[in-house]
Structure 1
Amino acid sequence: MLDIVKKLTSLNGPCGYEHNVSYYIRDYVKDLVDEVRIDGIGNVIATKKGRLPGPKILLTAHMDEVGFIVKKIEENGLIRFEKLGGHDDRILLAQEVKVLGNSGEISGVIGTMSAHFVKFDDPSKVRKHTHLYIDIGASSKAEVEEMGIEVGAPVTWATEMKVLGPKGKEMIMAKSLDDRAGCAVLLQLVNELQDETFAGVVTFLFSVQEEVGLRGAETAIKTLDVDAAIALDTTAVSDTPEETMDKTLFLGKGTGIKVMDFSLIVHKTMKNHLVNLAKEKGIPYQLEIFPGIGTDGGAVALANNGVPTGVLSIPSRYAHSPIELVSVADLEATKDLVKAFVLNLAEDTSFEW
């Protein structure tokens, strides 16, 4: 799965500009599923039929990443920007970025004052993103435009994936693990289902614009007829020393089985089913209650007449930063549990309230 994660995180696809990721995922699965399409908003929807009759299941992960968008080009060549998705202004300074211009990807950096000026400034001040700028080395507005950059050009972090940690406990550090990690789990599952017999029909939804309001999933689910769903996403752990951390979710301790977040109170039948499967298969898991986030599961659950929806959370540190961190073991646990869910389906499987 590492190769899949590496490829997915190398692609740049901020909210609304997921094209590279959409096309890659479509091409990856086209020979592995029965049908695949990209809808009008950019979601990739792929369907794989089991050999036995059974329920219709939706598995979803979002492919957009938090980023920025060019708002204004100053006369001196510096670029003002707006946010695409949620960011913490405290981490923006001096970070490398890529501007996705008309002529290709342009390297840049979010500027900051020299340390020599700190004594003339308030060192505790956090400047809002509206006061910051991207420097691509140009000295005029005309030079920026000649490089293929105009207002509306999307911007992403420039980080390349690295593997950290001791052997057997490896961690992945990269941009866009939220939620290319979930996409990687689903792509690995598609691979592993090729030689498996399962019941029913599985629809894989790789959604867009989750970070700006669950828009892709909300659009797609209106066109889909499913009996139940599982959303896969990353979630913030609370195992670091900051005083706000409550030590309820840990990196490397297993997949998170969602109980509640701000977008969803998980359907009890789905939660219990996932917990029982994890216990039966010996898959490490943690129960997650975290009101600080929402997932595509929140949009899916409210659709049509109500869709029984569960969520599997991949624990992560440093979310929405250029150095997100997840555990390889947690990725594998998430994949193992969603695979067990699919293989456990039967014609009479029920997700009644």
Structure 2
Amino acid sequence: MDKQETLSMIGALSDAPGVSGFEDEVVALLKRYGNGLGSFTEDAMRNLYVKRPGLSEGLPVLQLDAHSDEVGFMVKAIRPNGTLDFIPLGGWVPATAPAHRVLVRNDEGRWIPGLIASKPPHFLSEAERKEAPNLSDMVIDVGASDDREIREDFRIPIAAPVVPDVTFEYLADHDLMIGKGFDNRMGCAAIIATLRELAAEELGVTIIGAFASQEEVGLRGATVTAQRVKPDIAIVFEGCPADDTVMEPYAVQTAIKKGPMLRHIDARMITNPRFQRFTLDTARSQGIPVQEAVRTGGSTNGGAIHLSGQAVPVIVIGIPVRYIHTHYGIGAYSDFAYSVQLACAIIRALNKRLIEGF
């Protein structure tokens, strides 16, 4: 895929609505962009699998992982005044939510525009002005006048999924992407791009791409994909939180435009140090810029995959994104491209003997 085709794919995946449990439109797009790359199957959780074609009997199985869901919300209740109570799907900082546009799916499958609203400052007491905002104090307002209008005209039910209303942009002069859901539509696009790059090559592993659902609510999809794929080794692509605008310079480990981030540890996994060292050595030998990170929080699907079977060596190739888990993320295309380049270099070198040494 050339750069323009890849950007078009990233943009379409970013714009697609797909909160945890409602990944259908993302899955449909992945099948379209992955057409010709292998055989696709699904399971009841909307996990999507693509197996690379070719003779591969007896070869170790490599799982390429990325999660297809994004953070968003779900309608909890309908108030008499026509506004909607909601709950978060995934981790949100409440202060980032109000005054942003969202889309609410109605029972006909249409996406209804709305706003996350909070009490205007004119009506706040002094005590309320000093309080930190809570999602429970906010509502989604689609412009209805009462609950009857919500049910009969807007046709919005409880449990309706809600996504940020954001359109992808690419700023060519600065090689920057702005959009929603980069955690982890970047990773989904990286799997497709990697498979396309390797499509004509003979490899020492069988590749199965697994697009996991419901990562943002507890690595649920990957718990299932790992059982089904039964990998011998895995690479996790993830849109990971950039820290270059929030940390002191000496502590920055995940800056945009400095290549993918390779984490040594997070809240759910200590990265296999032998596979990690091999990856770092590969990056250096290929001239691919990378960043190393020690994370005290956060997690990826690697947390579920590395504990599957009889233990699986896993690395995480993190594509830095500023301000994930908000409406807007900022990422550099170069970091995405280097992530795919690194994955391809690793895969070309893998074989049974090497994997057994990890």
What TM bracket, shorter-length normalisation? over 0.9
Contact 2:233 2:355 in 1 (8 A): no
Write the distance in 2 (CA, Å) between the matches of 1:266 and 1:257.
9
Deviations 1:128-179 (A, max 9, x none): 1111100000001111112121001000000111123x63x41111110000
Listed as ranges, the matches of 1:36-115 within 5 Å are 36-49=40-53, 54-103=59-108, 104-115=110-121
Contact 1:54 1:349 in 2 (8 A): no
Quick one: which of 147, 156, 167 aligns to 1:160?
167
Aligned position for 2:147 = 141
Contact 2:104 2:112 in 1 (8 A): yes
Say which structure is richer in helix: 2
Identity of aligned residues (%): 29
Question: Aligned pair in 2 of structure 1 residues 204, 91: CA closer, same or farther (>3 Å)?
Answer: same
Aligned position for 2:136 = 130
Task: Find the residue that maps to 2:65 and give its secondary structure.
Answer: strand
Aligned position for 2:258 = 253
Moved more, 248-257 or 210-219: 248-257
Aligned-residue Cα RMSD (Å) equals 1.9
Give how far 1:226 is off: 1.8
Say which structure is richer in strand: 1
Q: Which runs of 5+ in 1 are unaligned?
A: none
> What is the TM-score of this pair, normalised by structure 2?
0.93
Listed as ranges, the matches of 1:1-353 within 5 Å are 1-33=6-38, 35-49=39-53, 54-103=59-108, 104-117=110-123, 122-146=128-152, 147-164=154-171, 167=173, 169-241=174-246, 246-353=251-358
Task: Find the residue that maps to 1:348 and give its secondary structure.
Answer: helix
Write the distance in 2 (CA, Å) between the matches of 1:346 and 1:267.
17
Write the distance in 1 (CA, Å) between the matches of 2:178 and 2:353.
42
Contact 1:54 1:348 in 2 (8 A): no
Contact 1:269 1:351 in 2 (8 A): no
Deviations 1:300-337 (A, max 9, x none): 00011111111111111101001111111110110100
> What is the TM-score of this pair, normalised by structure 1?
0.94
Write the distance in 2 (CA, Å) between the matches of 1:30 and 1:241.
40
Write the distance in 1 (CA, Å) between the matches of 2:345 and 2:149.
55
Task: Find the residue that maps to 2:278 and give its secondary structure.
Answer: helix
Contact 2:258 2:290 in 1 (8 A): yes
Write the distance in 1 (CA, Å) between the matches of 2:226 and 2:242.
29
Aligned length: 350
Moved more, 98-107 or 237-246: 237-246
Question: Aligned pair in 2 of structure 1 residues 213, 244: CA closer, same or farther (>3 Å)?
Answer: farther
Question: Aligned pair in 2 of structure 1 residues 290, 347: CA closer, same or farther (>3 Å)?
Answer: closer
Write the distance in 2 (CA, Å) between the matches of 1:112 and 1:126.
12
